[in-house]
Amino acid sequence: MSTGKPQKRALVTGAAGGLGREVALQLAARGCVLGLADLNVAGLQQTGRMVADLGTEAEAIHGDLTQDGIPEATVQRVVSRWGGIDILVNNAAYGVIEPFLDSTYAAWTRTMSLNVTALAMACKAAGRVMRDQRSGRIVNVTSPGSRMALPDYTAYTASKAGVDSITRAAAVALAPFGVLVNSVAPGMMDTEMQRSTEVDLARLNGRPDLQAFLDERTRRVPLGRRAEIAEVAEAVVWLCLDAPRYMTAERLNMSGGLDKD
């Protein structure tokens, strides 16, 4: 896709579906070349075909970001192909429903490994390249849950509090080099992860009528509806491409008023 401007080089993690796929497609529509990272090979391939249909290039990067060195290697794949990296969207995440008093080491370890450690290492690796370029933007996907007490979802919400902390620290570390680091806190979206989480939550709370349970949760949102994946992606892309260059260390709430404090 030719826009008359230099193509931005972006990496989106968790790009095989849901919000990650939609962010990748919107970035592609704006003329970005895309590194697409995920564990889901089939989903990655489909996203890659969709990006190609929009007339731009994509590099599918299959790997487990929780493994030592893989976040850095994933960033390097983008740098090696296109000579640098202008945008990093840390969207890949894992969450599991389990009561806090019955929580398991395995669930906490997996959640923290992907949502916190892998994200931090990707920020570090991309940040070093962006530091040398004296430009770049990093957007981390956080959650309203990071500021809530959710005893059946504690590992996930604690991990997103970690994302908030990393976002602020990385923003300050990279500010002298003109690199912006911000986050987006989506509300309830009908992604695969959201749906499976709510099914488990309904079962744990003894709510056999799933639709009634979902409707009850939706009524908690001041705007009275769930977020569309595309509109949350628009906010991510705005931070990637259009937000003022003086905006960094910020958390952009896209929760319909749910995260209102």
Task: Report angle CA 70, 144, 177 to the nearest 5 degrees.
Answer: 50
Please give the full DSSP string across the chain, using - where no structure is assigned. ---SSPPPEEEEESTTSHHHHHHHHHHHHTT-EEEEEES-HHHHHHHHHHHHHTT--EEEEE--TTSTTHHHHHHHHHHHHHSS-SEEEE---------GGG--HHHHHHHHIIIIIIHHHHHHHHHHHHHHHT-EEEEEE--GGGGS--TTSHHHHHHHHHHHHHHHHHHHHHGGGTEEEEEEEE--B--HHHHHHHHHHHHHTT---HHHHHHHHHTTSTTSSPBPHHHHHHHHHIIIIIS-TT--S-EEEESTTSS--
Task: Let me know if 246 is a catalytic residue.
Answer: no
Q: How far apart are CA 200 and CA 204, in angstroms?
A: 6
**CB–CB of 233/19 below 8 Å?**
yes
- Which candidate in 94, 105, 153, 156 is catalytic? 156
- Residues marked active site are found at 156
